[in-house]
Chains A and B, each alone.
Chain A
Amino acid sequence: MTDNQITPISADELLTNCQKLKNEDYHIVQICAVRTPDGYELTYSFALGYEMVNLRLTITVDEEVMSISSIFSPAFLYENEILELFGVKIQMINLDYKGNLYRIAAKTPFKD
């Protein structure tokens, strides 16, 4: 039943897709960032029952991404984590810790 299909989307389609999933009663499960040679891969996972839907956003290092926390409020934790540890530029997080979600002594983001 675990669905490992990942659908690539563009940054422009992110909020529209999220709103569509919200309307279908999905909830957010996780957001995962992966460093790539050119930037980042962000995988957004949503679930309804046992079914999981994954959206894949590929961005360059300097590209800004809109927060989905206005649609899925728990996304603020995942987005703050990605912003702080990976340096992804996420805009308009509903609770923005400004890079201080993790109170760690090491300098973040861990880009290399």
Chain B
Amino acid sequence: MSTRSVVPFGPQHPVLPEPIHLDLVLEDERVVEAIPSIGFIHRGLEKLVEKKDFIEYVYVAERICGICSFMHGMGYCEAIEHTMGIEIPDRAKYLRTIWSEMSRIHSHMLWLGLLADAFGFESLFMESWRMREKILDMFEYSTGGRVIFSVNKIGGQRKDMPDDMIADFVHILEGMEKELKAMSNTFLNDYAVKSRLEGVGYLTKQQAHDLGAVGPFMRASGINLDTRKTGYAAYANLEFEPIISTVGDSYARTDIRIREIYQSIDLIRQAAAKIPSGDVAVPFKGNPTGEYLMRVEQPRGEAIYYVKGNGTKNLDRMRVRTPTFANIPGLVETLKGCQLADVPILILTIDPCISCTER
């Protein structure tokens, strides 16, 4: 008869960049149950909306998370713009799309590096992060900031990108595309990497649906959904289809994210070809009234921004349902039945962002 024991996992663990705790119930080395706990870095950012006016709050929204900083700012701005009936210029919509897709590449590259680091493939980790540096350089070149760059504002963008800069970026990204092909060959075909990912942590399509999984974690289980298809920013004018896999294991999640990097490069290429000239922001007057739920596809999945205005400078409520929060029930499900040694890899395969989750 196997012995049951409870092993605390985290909040500090070599594989976790941020703290999350799981109580793992084990039968010998097999996980039979996992109970998550969060709250080690809760900052009360939603509550801060009562103290900061709705324009200042853009800066707070951008600080929910470093990796998704741009998209948090954009999601919040779009929610406020909907409540106030502000139509931003087309050029601003394209700029939002370009910076969003650059953020997605940066996030997926970061994740690939962390995954490689987790299974001890140091050179692959460094190669992923070396390529990611090019995106950060492009952020710095276009905005002045590398991680949090505050270019979103209600009514449009604070900064424009000259057309020749966008063309240069497309050229750099096309170079990265070639490098990525070589690197993805290792991620997808190396024997040691495959042995850690293939057949590990299955989540079926039905489970992904029932447990409300989002993003690449969900699409790897065969659900054909991508919130960008709702057409916010300039996505309605671009050609793309959600990238899915029907396998549902850790390997499929890696494959999806790698293919999404290629897709992001293609979307930037399309946006660069179609971006119109003109203003990047419109002036507005007044304060938000009413409420709005804005859905945005972040690198980790769908985020939902809820804002409720009361006609004053301070909102009644701002809430973000972040992708990692939505993916926790799915993670717990994938952990059931796995080996203890696979737990770190499985946690990583949802691409957890605890700063987002706890806000």
Binding site for B on A (CB under 8 A): 1-2, 4, 6, 25, 27-30, 32, 34-35, 43, 45, 49-50, 52, 54, 72-74, 76-77, 95, 97, 100-104, 106, 110
A110 adjacent to B47 (CB under 8 Å): yes
B44 adjacent to A110 (CB under 8 Å): yes
Contact among B42, B293, B328 for A45, CB-based, below 8 A: B293
Contact among B229, B292, B317 for A32, CB-based, below 8 A: B317
Within 8 Å CB of A52, what residues of B? 293, 295
B134 proximal to A (CB < 8 A) = no
A103 adjacent to B293 (CB under 8 Å): no
B120 proximal to A (CB < 8 A) = no
B207-222 CB contacts (< 8 Å) to partner A: 209-212
| Chain B residue at minimal CB-CB distance from A22 | B210
Q: Which of the candidate stretches B32-40, B250-258, B266-274 sits at the interface with the other chain?
A: B32-40
B230 adjacent to A2 (CB under 8 Å): yes
B37 adjacent to A77 (CB under 8 Å): no
Contact among B38, B209, B227 for A102, CB-based, below 8 A: B38
Within 8 Å CB of B308, what residues of A? 34
A50 adjacent to B47 (CB under 8 Å): no
- Encoded as 1 (CB less than 8 Å from any A CB) or 0, chain B from 299 to 336 comes to 00000101010000000110101000110110000000
Give 5 A-B contacts (CB < 8 Å), ordered by A residue: A1-B229, A27-B209, A74-B212, A97-B37, A102-B38
A-B contacts besides A32-B319, A104-B42, 15 pairs, CB < 8 Å: A1-B230, A2-B293, A2-B295, A25-B209, A27-B211, A29-B304, A50-B225, A54-B293, A72-B212, A74-B326, A76-B329, A77-B328, A77-B329, A100-B37, A102-B39
| Chain A residue at minimal CB-CB distance from B302 | A29
A103 adjacent to B35 (CB under 8 Å): no
Instruction: Answer whether A102 and B304 are a contact pair too, CB < 8 Å, given A4-B292, A77-B325.
Output: no
What separation, in Å, do the CA atoms of A100 and B325 have in the docked complex? 16
What separation, in Å, do the CA atoms of A43 and B294 have in the docked complex? 14
Binding site for A on B (CB under 8 A): 21, 35, 37-40, 42, 44, 47, 82, 209-212, 225, 227, 229-231, 291-295, 304, 306, 308, 316-317, 319, 321, 325-326, 328-329, 358
| Chain A residue at minimal CB-CB distance from B308 | A34
B321 adjacent to A29 (CB under 8 Å): yes
A102 adjacent to B212 (CB under 8 Å): no
B39 adjacent to A27 (CB under 8 Å): no
Instruction: Answer whether A4 and B293 are a contact pair too, CB < 8 Å, given A32-B319, A34-B317, A77-B329.
Output: yes
Query: Among the interface residues A4, A52, A54, which one has the most CB atoms of the partner chain B within 10 A?
Result: A4
Least Cβ–Cβ distance between A70 and chain B, in angstroms: 13
A1 adjacent to B38 (CB under 8 Å): no
Least Cβ–Cβ distance between A84 and chain B, in angstroms: 9
Least Cβ–Cβ distance between B65 and chain A, in angstroms: 17
What separation, in Å, do the CA atoms of A80 and B234 have in the docked complex? 37
